[in-house]
Amino acid sequence: MKKIIYFLCTGNSCRSQMAEGWAKKYLGDEWEVYSAGIEAHGLNPNAVKVMKEVGIDISNQTSDVINPEILNKADLVVTLCGHAADHCPVTPPHVKRVHWGFDDPAKAEGTEEEKWAVFQRVRNEIGERIKRFAGTGE
């Protein structure tokens, strides 16, 4: 039976969606991969576009609110919220939880190019983190 990894952030729009895409690519043999948010803000089109740049299609992923059933049987819950303004979800005490903080690319400011660069940076940071986890289990 596969283990379950559950990526959580505020809106299940960008970071957790990208993490789900990367994790399906690098962890898919051993893990069932899910993502969710405190709220469901819808899949951010830039998240879809930026993942497509690295050959990962997340366009069919859905933006979901946290499912207590998945949460309770998850082997690992990963919160991805960045700064304190993000409210990270609460997890049950028996569930192993780790925090990998990333900036919210949807909140990036500046020109379109600058905003896009933040999406690319966060995508790469999340990808590297998941590759590291795939290699070391940490």
Which residues are catalytically annotated?
Answer: 9, 81, 88
* Residue at token pair 């600058």: 114
Long-range CB contact pairs, 53-62, < 8 A, 24+: 53/120, 53/123, 54/123, 54/127, 56/21, 56/22, 56/24, 56/25, 57/21, 58/17, 58/18, 58/20, 58/21, 61/17, 61/20, 61/21, 61/35
3-state secondary structure of 74: coil
